[in-house]
């Protein structure tokens, strides 16, 4: 399922996600998360690409998480699965973009 | 653990791939704490010397390799060659640092790397017919690679783009295992093969992902092949990835989005901590990760180069004595040759004069001997002698003209004693690098000379020099436009108006340049235009492609090809992958053999003089004080004269009014960016014309600065001032002069100068004043020897123009040496009274031949010789057609010409249109050009039988079908029969239009003449009338644009100079800011102009216009003909 929603993500001390809140439900990351960098088509989207603008116009940081609802949630809400998130380059804002539940 | 070394790094010298210059990469590596860094450019060692130089300077170890494609080439029984690509590998040279001892010159890792690269380049060069890089890449055959590395010397890294890496990405375990096994078999020696692991943190499982790297590691471990970690670096910083995208588009020749781009922005020079983190991510096991980093460090250790031991860094190399045909001591040989030169050059000198020359020679020889450069001078002299034996004109340029030895050995033609030039500016014991001797030869014979040099010294000692062209304004804009997928004509439109500014200031230029105003608006409105500006700025100054240096030849000993990699050049001869800046560090002797068209033009003129007048002429022995020559120069009609024909030099000639050879040296030296920026021209002219009393500061300086009225212009002046005031000697003085330009050491120079000058009793006031001049001198001055070397051909060409104008113009037409179009030369010839004969199929050839021509008037000034225009001016005429016409001359009739010369339809018609068949037709009867044209069209209408049958479309470039031979008499008779008569003759205007369209030359009359009624009505003045007008007279001039210049100005503001030719000479107009704005649309692109302005007297014979406005002449003509502009009003006819 494709989505595009801002989510709150909790990270450990090296910055790896350990859990997140989505649609009122807290999820916990179950296995080692996978990170990669995907590219962006700046020639289609960007307004300016001057020297020093940074790699943010070229690539985007992606995370794939295996996660399940935390036991703190009321039972019966949400289910586990695979989640893909984008972490924005300049701030700690995360967006959930794909979900396999 | 913090000493990670990057082993796979492409610099900006990986054309259209790498982004960062080697120097920046090395600095960054040092800043990250590394003690070594590799450079591994694609397909060559293009950036290697710069990398080594940067590493040496920074105190880290250089490592050098190359990234190459490997192919398996097998030849089947049917002789078909088939290729199987094995993909990309990195080949890293082993160094002698770890080995602890040097290897033989041909056994070093560096030598083997050079050979590997050269072999790959040669294979590509030999695969004929396929020039496309994608279909025929630079690639080494696998067996050749194995052979070259049979005893080690390099390590081959299998990249993720090798057959192994691709199989792993495709998750084809079997193929991956068989690929690696086959590599092991190919390169069985320990230490020669390794697997490269790269993680660019791409999506798991895809190319260059950590997962792929882990699978490679597992396979390598299983088969016992060492694995190393790199980051396959393409750029210094993540931000540079965007520039890499644009370079990828330029390489693919396709817009972004149309090809597979790099996966992300991770190929940057990551710091050690980041690389260690990658090792752990890939191995997923602490111990294995540490082993991986350890193996990488060991390989780096093995590859550290000792530049001196491995590359013979900095040690001058010249051909061996045997190759030069020398026996015994080279210095004795040099001494003997120089003595012979004294006989030759100063045969009639006696007494004190001769002693002075001898003394100077001894001093030079002592220096040469101390530096051990005797062989070097003998080498250059040998080449010079060889060129002269080929009967090719030769002249020296640059500081080499300051050497008496060069003069005596025939390398230079300028007498340094007479011209007061200094040897120390050229060579001194304070510097140990090989000096530059540049020689100018006839451009038309340059390639002959190169081939002769290869033949004489052997192809293992000689290579051509390469050069890297870099992205500048228009080129950067075009490739950026391509990357963004802009339309061609849109790009053309913008590029056309990019005029004299570097691409890095594109955005700034948008605001300040009026001709870019339209584009600036588009940038605000259009996102893609905005991106265009940004990426154009990013490309600026990046290396773009490699090509043959226009004049450099490297001469070495027989180890040359173990020290440099070579690739085939455009002319076929091998070319070093190093450029001119790499020569000194590598200790290579570079000889600049520069083709100068003026030398060809003069050689041609001398040949014509000897042929027409039947007497020999030695241009190098004409007197250098001919009054008629200087009188002719002073008229400022210097068109076609070497170095002083530009509008600026013409204006300067008007003010300067040279009377002797040294004046030419000074004038040539003054009109240079340095002296212009240093504001030397005005004080010099004031002194010369007596407007100001020369100020010499101190009587000791008067003998030095008298020639320039107290103005310090020449490097030689500075040397002498240092020498006189500090007693440091001229050699040391040149060192001081060089240090003046270096901000870091300049204070030391000042301290030395002040102390020593004070010791010698100069007052504080004098010292202060002299220092302020020396300090400001900086890089502004000019080497007098260079000016004098240029003044020689300047004088020689002026002499020829004065005494043999017809032969000289023929030389100019044939070799086209100057900055102006041929049609301006035609106008100048007409002005000089040189007679021009039209193109004639029976008399014209490929060259402009001087013909004897009966006088047609009783004017005693009329010459009995004329220049015949050449056939190759005809647009679209093919080489084969020229061969047939010139080879079959003479022709009896048009029919005869038609059948024997077999011109294409188009060429035949063009010949008729410009009158090249007129004389042929007249031989048969009284026919006009209209008749000839009608006849030619009849002939062109004949349908070749076979073509009609097979319905082949006739290409108008193809010669027509050969009919059976006719005999000449028969043909003449047929011609008379067939020739139409009584056709309407062509009008003058039609003739002129045809001439201009077909040859670009208005040879029947000056093209401005057709507009004369309007020009007269408007009161437009001729250019040669301007000199008689009062200063600040408002005038109109008209003409054909012959030059547009935007020279550097002291103020930094742009000034545009436009020169117009009106058949009476040239007028030069200056456009300042406001005038530029007023006529921005015609400023750069309109050909026929009318300019309004005020006269500005600039000297005795100098006048120019300060323009206020300009219009398109043709546009005004249309309006005038339509009766719209009856009386000229400068406000109504706005452009």
The values of phi and psi at residue B3, to 5°, are -110, 55
Highest mean pLDDT among B545-554, B659-668, B856-865, B1050-1059: B659-668
Condensed to tens digits (0 to 9), the pLDDT of residues B16-26 reads 999 999 999 99
Preferred mutation among A53, A58, A85, A89 to probe B, highest tally of B CBs within 10 A: A58
Condensed to tens digits (0 to 9), the pLDDT of residues B629-665 reads 999 999 999 999 999 998 889 889 999 999 999 999 9
Contact yes or no for B1114/B1090 (Cβ under 8 A): no
Q: Give dist(CA B1002, CA B1087) in Å, integer.
A: 14
Q: What is the pLDDT of residue B971?
A: 63
CB contact set of B116 (below 8 Å; sequence gap of 6+): B66, B68, B91, B140, B145, B148, B149, B154
Is the pLDDT at B469 greater than 50, yes or no?
Answer: yes
Q: How many CB pairs under 8 A join A and B?
A: 80
Cβ burial of B182 (10 Å; 0-12, 13-18, 19+) is: middle
Residues of B in contact with A37 (CB under 8 A): 200-202, 263-266
Residues of B in contact with A43 (CB under 8 A): 245, 255-257, 483-485, 528, 531
Condensed to tens digits (0 to 9), the pLDDT of residues B484-526 reads 999 888 888 777 776 666 667 788 777 777 777 778 888 878 8
Q: Which residue has the higher pLDDT, B555 or B102?
A: B555
- A43 and B200 in contact by Cβ < 8 A? no
How much is the average pLDDT of A56-85?
87
- A47 and B263 in contact by Cβ < 8 A? no
Condensed to tens digits (0 to 9), the pLDDT of residues B719-744 reads 999 999 999 999 999 999 988 888 88
User: Could you tell me where the DSSP H helices lie in B71-162?
Assistant: 96-99, 109-126, 142-148
- Least CB–CB distance from B264: residue in A34, A43, A59: A59
Is the pLDDT at B1121 greater than 90, yes or no?
Answer: no
pTM above the 0.90 mark? no
- B531 and A49 in contact by Cβ < 8 A? yes
Is the pLDDT at B979 greater than 80, yes or no?
Answer: no
Q: What is the pLDDT of residue B45?
A: 97
- Least CB–CB distance from B264: residue in A38, A47, A64: A38
Is the pLDDT at B133 greater than 70, yes or no?
Answer: no
Strands A25-29 vs A59-69: parallel, antiparallel or unpaired: antiparallel
- A55 and B538 in contact by Cβ < 8 A? no
Q: Which residues of chain B are at the A interface, by a Cβ-Cβ cutoff of 8 Å? A: 200-204, 209, 238-239, 241-242, 245, 255-257, 261-266, 483-485, 527-528, 530-531, 534-535, 537-538
CB contact set of B229 (below 8 Å; sequence gap of 6+): B196, B197, B198, B275, B278, B279, B282, B292, B293, B296
Preferred mutation among A49, A53, A89, A98 to probe B, highest tally of B CBs within 10 A: A49
| Measured CA distances, B153 to B6, B107, B184, B836 (Å) | 19, 7, 16, 67
How much is the average pLDDT of B752-781?
90
**Nearest CA-CA partner of B282 in B215, B222, B232, B219:** B215
Q: What is the pLDDT of residue B777?
A: 78
Is the pLDDT at B904 greater than 80, yes or no?
Answer: yes
Q: Give dist(CA B672, CA B966) in Å, integer.
A: 63
User: Out of B610-624, B726-740, B927-941, which region has the weakest mean confidence (pLDDT)?
Assistant: B927-941
**Nearest CA-CA partner of B768 in B711, B715, B698:** B698
**Nearest CA-CA partner of B643 in B809, B797, B828:** B797
Residues of A in contact with B485 (CB under 8 A): 43
Crossing angle (nearest 10°) for helices B730-740 and B746-759: 140
| Measured CA distances, B129 to B117, B124, B135, B136, B575 (Å) | 21, 10, 11, 10, 20
Q: Give dist(CA B249, CA B262) in Å, integer.
A: 11
The values of phi and psi at residue A84, to 5°, are -115, 130
- A39 and B527 in contact by Cβ < 8 A? no
Confidence of residue B959 (pLDDT cuts 50, 70, 90): very low
Q: What is the pLDDT of residue A54?
A: 85
Strands B1034-1045 vs B1056-1061: parallel, antiparallel or unpaired: antiparallel
Residue of chain B with shortest Cα separation from A40: B264
Q: What is the pLDDT of residue A19?
A: 93
Condensed to tens digits (0 to 9), the pLDDT of residues B444-467 reads 999 999 999 999 999 899 999 999
Q: What is the pLDDT of residue B759?
A: 96
Q: What is the pLDDT of residue B134?
A: 61
Contact yes or no for B666/B787 (Cβ under 8 A): yes
Calculate ∠ Cα B683-B684-B689, nearest 5°.
100
Q: What is the least distance, in Å, from the CA of A25 to any CA of chain B?
A: 28
**Nearest CA-CA partner of A60 in A84, A26, A28:** A84
Residues of B in contact with A49 (CB under 8 A): 242, 531, 534-535, 538
- A43 and B538 in contact by Cβ < 8 A? no
How much is the average pLDDT of B48-65?
97
Q: What is the pLDDT of residue B1050?
A: 63
How much is the average pLDDT of B931-937?
86
Is the pLDDT at B417 greater than 80, yes or no?
Answer: yes
CB atoms within 10 A of CB B824: 23
**Nearest CA-CA partner of B189 in B149, B219, B157, B143:** B149
- B257 and A52 in contact by Cβ < 8 A? no
Q: Which residue has the tokens 């060492």?
A: B226
Strand order through the sheet with B835-837: B835-837, B865-868, B849-852
Contact yes or no for A59/A38 (Cβ under 8 A): yes
Q: Which residue has the higher pLDDT, B497 or B544?
A: B544
Residues of A in contact with B261 (CB under 8 A): 39
Q: Give dist(CA B935, CA B929) in Å, integer.
A: 10
- Least CB–CB distance from B201: residue in A36, A41, A53: A36
Strand order through the sheet with B394-397: B394-397, B438-442, B589-596, B543-555, B462-470, B574-576, B566-568
Is the pLDDT at B1134 greater than 80, yes or no?
Answer: no
Confidence of residue B1098 (pLDDT cuts 50, 70, 90): confident
Residues of A in contact with B527 (CB under 8 A): 47
Contact yes or no for B33/B272 (Cβ under 8 A): yes
**Nearest CA-CA partner of B42 in B89, B83, B85:** B89
- A51 and B537 in contact by Cβ < 8 A? yes
Condensed to tens digits (0 to 9), the pLDDT of residues B841-864 reads 999 999 999 998 888 888 887 888
User: Could you tell me where the DSSP H helices lie in B40-172?
Assistant: 48-58, 96-99, 109-126, 142-148, 163-169
Highest mean pLDDT among B90-94, B341-345, B486-490, B1104-1108: B90-94
Contact yes or no for B491/B477 (Cβ under 8 A): yes
Residue of chain A with shortest Cα separation from B268: A55
Q: What is the pLDDT of residue B965?
A: 44
Is the pLDDT at B968 greater than 70, yes or no?
Answer: no
The values of phi and psi at residue B676, to 5°, are -70, -45
Three-state SS at B921? helix
Condensed to tens digits (0 to 9), the pLDDT of residues B218-244 reads 999 999 999 999 999 999 999 999 999
Is the pLDDT at B1013 greater than 80, yes or no?
Answer: yes
Q: What is the pLDDT of residue B1048?
A: 65
| Measured CA distances, B812 to B600, B913, B1040 (Å) | 9, 26, 20
Preferred mutation among B264, B274, B482, B529 to probe A, highest tally of A CBs within 10 A: B264
**Nearest CA-CA partner of B780 in B682, B667, B666, B673:** B673
Q: What is the pLDDT of residue B467?
A: 92
């Amino acid at each position: 399922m494709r989505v595009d929603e801002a989510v709150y993500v909790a990270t450990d001390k090296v910055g790896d996600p350990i859990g997140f809140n989505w649609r009122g439900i807290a999820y916990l990351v179950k296995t080692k998360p996978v990170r990669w960098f995907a590219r962006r088509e700046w020639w289609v989207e960007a307004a300016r690409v001057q020297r020093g603008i940074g790699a943010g116009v070229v690539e985007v940081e992606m995370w794939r998480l295996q996660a399940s609802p935390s036991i703190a949630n009321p039972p019966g809400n949400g289910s586990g699965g695979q989640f893909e998130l984008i972490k924005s380059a300049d701030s700690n804002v995360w967006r959930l973009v794909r979900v396999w539940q | 653990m913090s000493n990670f070394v990057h082993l796979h790094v492409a610099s900006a010298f990986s054309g259209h791939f790498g982004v960062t210059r080697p120097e920046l990469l090395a600095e960054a590596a040092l800043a990250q704490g590394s003690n070594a860094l590799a450079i591994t450019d694609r397909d060559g060692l293009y950036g290697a010397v710069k990398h080594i130089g940067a590493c040496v300077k920074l105190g880290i170890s250089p490592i050098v390799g190359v990234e190459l494609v490997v192919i398996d080439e097998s030849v089947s029984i049917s002789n078909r060659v088939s290729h199987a690509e094995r993909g990309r590998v990195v080949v890293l040279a082993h160094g002698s640092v770890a080995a602890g001892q040097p290897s033989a010159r041909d056994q070093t890792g560096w030598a083997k790397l050079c050979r590997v690269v050269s072999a790959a380049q040669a294979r590509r060069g030999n695969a004929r017919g396929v020039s496309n890089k994608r279909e025929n890449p630079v690639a080494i055959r696998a067996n050749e690679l194995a052979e070259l590395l049979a005893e080690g010397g390099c390590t081959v890294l299998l990249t993720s783009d090798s057959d192994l890496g691709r199989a792993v990405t495709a998750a084809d375990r079997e193929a991956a295992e068989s690929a690696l096994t086959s590599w092991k078999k190919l390169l069985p020696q320990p230490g020669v093969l390794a697997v490269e692991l790269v993680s660019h943190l791409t999506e798991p499982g895809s190319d260059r992902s950590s997962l792929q790297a882990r699978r490679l590691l597992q396979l390598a471990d299983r088969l016992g092949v060492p694995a190393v970690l790199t980051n396959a670096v393409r750029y210094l910083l993540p931000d540079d990835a965007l520039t890499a995208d644009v370079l990828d588009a330029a390489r693919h020749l396709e817009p972004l989005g149309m090809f597979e781009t790099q996966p992300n922005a991770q190929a940057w020079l990551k710091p050690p901590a980041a690389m260690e983190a990658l090792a752990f991510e890939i191995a997923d096991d602490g111990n294995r990760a540490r082993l991986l980093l350890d193996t990488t460090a060991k390989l780096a250790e093995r590859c550290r180069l000792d530049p001196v031991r491995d590359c013979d860094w900095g040690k001058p190399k010249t051909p061996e004595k045997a190759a030069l045909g020398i026996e015994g001591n080279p210095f004795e040989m040099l001494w003997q040759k120089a003595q012979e030169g004294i006989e030759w050059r100063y045969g009639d000198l006696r007494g004190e004069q001769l002693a002075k020359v001898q003394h100077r020679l001894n001093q030079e020889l002592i220096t040469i001997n101390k530096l051990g450069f005797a062989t070097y001078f003998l080498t250059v002299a040998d080449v010079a002698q060889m060129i002269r034996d080929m009967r090719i004109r030769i002249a020296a340029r640059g500081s080499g003209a300051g050497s008496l030895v060069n003069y005596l050995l025939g390398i230079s033609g300028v007498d340094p004693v007479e011209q007061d030039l200094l040897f120390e500016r050229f060579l001194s014991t304070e510097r140990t690098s090989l000096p530059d001797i540049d020689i100018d030869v006839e451009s038309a014979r340059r390639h002959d000379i190169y081939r002769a040099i290869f033949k004489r010294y052997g192809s293992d000692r000689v290579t051509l020099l390469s050069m890297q062209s870099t992205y500048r304004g228009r080129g950067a804009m075009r490739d950026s436009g391509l990357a963004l997928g802009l339309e061609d004509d849109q790009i053309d439109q913008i590029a056309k108006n990019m005029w004299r500014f570097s691409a890095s200031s594109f955005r700034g230029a948008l605001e300040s340049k009026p001709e870019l105003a339209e584009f600036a608006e588009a940038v605000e409105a259009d996102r893609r235009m905005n991106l265009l500006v940004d990426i154009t700025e990013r490309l600026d100054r990046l290396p773009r492609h490699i090509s043959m240096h226009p004049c450099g030849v490297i001469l070495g000993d027989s180890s040359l090809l173990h020290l440099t990699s070579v690739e085939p050049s455009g002319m076929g001869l091998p070319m070093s992958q190093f450029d001119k800046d790499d020569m000194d560090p590598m200790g290579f002797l570079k000889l600049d053999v520069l083709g100068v068209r003026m030398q060809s033009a003069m050689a041609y003129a001398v040949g014509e003089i000897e042929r027409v007048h039947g007497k020999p002429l030695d241009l190098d022995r004409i007197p250098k004080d001919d009054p008629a020559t200087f009188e002719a120069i002073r008229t400022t009609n210097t068109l076609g004269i070497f170095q002083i024909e530009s509008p600026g030099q013409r204006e300067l000639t008007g003010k300067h009014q040279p009377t002797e050879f040294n004046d030419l040296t000074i004038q040539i030296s003054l009109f240079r960016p340095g002296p212009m920026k240093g504001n030397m021209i005005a004080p010099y002219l004031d002194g010369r014309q007596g407007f100001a009393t020369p100020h010499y500061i101190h009587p000791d300086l008067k003998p030095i600065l008298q020639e320039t009225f107290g103005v310090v212009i020449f490097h030689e002046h500075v040397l002498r001032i240092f020498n006189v005031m500090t007693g440091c000697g001229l050699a040391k003085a040149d060192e001081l002069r060089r240090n003046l330009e270096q901000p870091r050491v300049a204070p030391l120079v000042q301290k030395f100068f002040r102390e020593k000058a004070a010791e010698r009793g100069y007052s504080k006031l004098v010292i202060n004043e002299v220092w302020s001049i020396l300090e400001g001198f900086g890089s502004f001055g000019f080497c007098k020897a260079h000016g004098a070397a240029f003044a020689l051909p300047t004088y020689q060409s002026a002499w020829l123009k004065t005494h043999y104008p017809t032969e000289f113009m023929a030389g100019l037409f044939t070799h086209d040496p100057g900055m102006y179009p041929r049609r301006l030369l035609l106008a100048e010839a007409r002005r000089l009274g040189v007679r021009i004969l039209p193109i004639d199929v029976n008399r014209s050839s490929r060259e402009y031949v001087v013909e004897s021509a009966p006088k047609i008037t009783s004017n005693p000034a009329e010459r009995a010789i004329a220049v015949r225009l050449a056939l190759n001016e005809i647009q679209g005429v093919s080489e084969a057609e020229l061969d047939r016409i010139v080879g079959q001359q003479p022709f009896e009739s048009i029919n005869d010409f038609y059948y024997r010369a077999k011109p294409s339809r188009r060429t035949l018609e063009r010949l008729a249109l410009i009158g090249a068949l007129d004389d042929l037709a007249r031989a048969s009867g009284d026919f006009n050009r209209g008749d000839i044209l009608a006849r030619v069209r009849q002939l062109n209408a004949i349908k070749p039988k076979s073509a009609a049958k097979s319905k082949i479309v006739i290409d108008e470039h193809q010669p027509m079908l050969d009919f059976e031979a006719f005999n000449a008499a028969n043909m003449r008779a047929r011609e008379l029969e067939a020739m139409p008569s009584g056709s309407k003759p062509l009008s003058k205007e039609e003739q002129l239009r045809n001439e201009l369209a077909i040859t670009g030359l208005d040879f029947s009359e000056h093209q401005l003449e057709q507009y004369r009624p309007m020009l007269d009505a408007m009161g437009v003045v001729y250019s040669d009338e301007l000199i008689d007008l009062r200063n600040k007279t408002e005038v109109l001039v008209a003409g054909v644009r012959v030059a547009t210049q935007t020279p550097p100005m002291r103020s930094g503001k742009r000034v545009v100079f436009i020169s117009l030719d009106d058949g009476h000479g040239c007028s030069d107009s200056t456009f300042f800011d406001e005038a530029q704005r007023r006529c921005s649309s015609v400023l750069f692109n309109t050909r026929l102009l009318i300019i309004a302005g005020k006269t500005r007297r600039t000297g005795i014979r100098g006048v120019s216009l300060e323009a206020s406005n300009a219009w398109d002449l043709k546009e005004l003509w249309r309006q005038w003909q339509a009766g719209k502009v009856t009386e000229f009003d400068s406000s109504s006819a706005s452009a």
